[in-house]
Amino acid sequence: MNISRIASGSDPVDGTFALSFGPVTAAGNSIAGTGDQLIPQSSTDSIRFDAPAVDMERELEALDGVGDVSVTRVERPDGYSWFVTFVGCSVSSLGRDVCHVGQQPAMTIDDRRLTGATSTEVLEAVAGNVSSSYGTLAFTDISAPLPYQVRITNVPSGQPIFARVSARNRMGFGQKAVSTPRFLLPALLPPHAPDAPELVSSTLNEVTVAWSHPVETGGSPISGYELEMNDWAGGDQDAENRVWKTVYDGTGKPRTLRAVVTSPYVKAGQRYRFRVRALSSFGESSFSLESVIPVRTPGAPQPPSNPMRDPRTQGGLNPQVDDAIVGIRFNRPSDNGGSPITSFVVQRDDGIGGSFGSDASMDTLEVQEIQIASTYVGSSNFSLALRGAYSGPIPAGGDARLLDADAGAALMQEALEASTGGSFGITKISFDPAHPKWAITFVAAATDMENHAFSGT
């Protein structure tokens, strides 16, 4: 047996190397812009030839000019490859926000302490790029009412705009949350369709039908509504090439959200289909879903929707006291019997037998009314205090939201949710703009509470 050498083996790979990155600006560009401070080139400490991805990531993010990066390692027959993705922003060791947007300068490698390596190089796998509409905005007014709102301006019309948000503390930036829906189209479009019309009241000669403002207006104010009716006569078209008849034309009346339909359009004992659409200067919405509404004398309403568990359900805090809360939610019945709903009766039961217990065994919820006296109407703001909790500022006058019932209720809700020093608990709020006056129901409070303390500024 003869043994001969066919080829000499290479030395095993060993040792360390270092990476350098920069110079960059804090905004992540390789060329300093107006007002940007240039961060000079910096180098990592020694990195092992077979360093895990987490070690490589830690070394790079320790550099003043590197923000948030993601690293993966691939083991090959002839060595190792690391893929570095410049993900976003972080806070550098100098306390500066460092973000990576678009094209980045190529890293350089110092391999003088590597042995056995035939070649080392840094390659750009995917070039970074950024659209002309990309931008970032620092939002620092965290004392503003929740939810926070940001207006994005100077964007091209007709182009989808995506948004994502990350929170920052002294340790850096958190993960980014993508908006829902994922994008919006900044363009003046026709409004969305309103919800299906609802029966308000009925007699043998007329019905009163109501609808709601659409969620999306298309970027232009609503200018009115059209209500149409179908009498089930059949056929595709009538003499005017329409099966549906316009029974209310509210062009120019955007605040009118109900209509009374009388004879000869409707007859006693008949059922009719109704639908509504919104109007604006940029077109008409599609029609809403249809509602079937009978013409009759008022009777008892139909059952509401099946109650569902509300997220506010919670266990008790004191095992010695029955202080647990069960929250339920339900919608109005589709047919109110031809007369407006005035109240609901909620009954509870332990489920172990017998008939349903009446609501007489349920505690009465605390309700407090807040009315602005004429002596306070000129005040700019007031606040409420309750058991050490202090609400945010509430305008006493001069605010357009005080002219609308829903907006006024939301204003008070935001002020209570922004409380300091404690909590006002779970509340339900209604607002009467005519006085003005708020009614606050303490949903989570089953016992008597002291009245709010009032403070004007």
pLDDT per residue over 245-276, tens digit each?
A: 999 999 999 999 999 999 888 998 898 999 99
User: Which of 40-54, 230-244, 402-416 is predicted most confidently?
Assistant: 40-54
Q: Is the pLDDT of residue 423 over 90?
A: no
Mean pLDDT of all residues in 71-86: 88
Q: Give residue 56's pLDDT.
A: 92
Confidence band (pLDDT; 50, 70, 90) for 194? very high
Q: Give residue 215's pLDDT.
A: 84
pLDDT (tens digit per residue) in 345-358: 888 777 776 666 55
Asked if residue 356 lies in contact with residue 346, where contact means CB atoms within 8 angstroms, the answer is no
Q: Give residue 35's pLDDT.
A: 42
Class of domain 198-294: mainly beta
Q: Give residue 288's pLDDT.
A: 94
> In the chain, where does the domain assigned CATH 2.60.40.10 lie?
198-294
Confidence band (pLDDT; 50, 70, 90) for 385? confident
Confidence band (pLDDT; 50, 70, 90) for 133? low
Q: Report the C-alpha dihedral over residues 93, 94, 99, 105, rounded to 10 degrees.
A: -90
Q: Give residue 359's pLDDT.
A: 44
C-alpha closest to that of 207 among 215, 195, 199: 199
Between CA 38 and CA 95 the distance in angstroms is: 14
Asked if residue 44 lies in contact with residue 63, where contact means CB atoms within 8 angstroms, the answer is yes
90 phi, psi to nearest 5 deg: -155, 175
Cβ atoms < 10 Å from Cβ of 439: 16
Q: Give residue 362's pLDDT.
A: 46
Q: Give residue 144's pLDDT.
A: 81
Q: Is the pLDDT of residue 85 over 80?
A: yes
Q: Give residue 318's pLDDT.
A: 72
Mean confidence (pLDDT) of the chain: 80
CA of 37: how far to CAs of 89, 98, 284, in Å?
Answer: 16, 11, 52
CA of 347: how far to CAs of 309, 354, 363, 371, 430, in Å?
Answer: 14, 13, 12, 32, 23
Between CA 277 and CA 160 the distance in angstroms is: 26
Q: Give residue 331's pLDDT.
A: 84
Peptide bond into 12 cis (omega under 30): no
Q: Which of 30-44, 313-327, 349-363 has the lowest mean pLDDT?
A: 349-363
Mean pLDDT of all residues in 387-414: 84
Q: Which amino acid is at 456?
A: G
Q: Which residue has the higher pLDDT, 348 or 446?
A: 348
Q: Which residue has the higher pLDDT, 273 or 382?
A: 273
Q: Give residue 88's pLDDT.
A: 74
DSSP annotation of 402: G
Look up tokens 């047919």; give the residue: 335
Task: Please report how many Cα atoms fall inside a 13 Å half-sphere around the Cα of residue 356, on the Cβ side.
Answer: 6
C-alpha closest to that of 296 among 336, 243, 341: 336
b or e along 235-270 (b: 16 or more beta carbons within 10 Å of the residue's beta carbon)?
eeeeeeeebbeebbebeeebeebbbebeeeebeeee
Asked if residue 338 lies in contact with residue 347, where contact means CB atoms within 8 angstroms, the answer is no
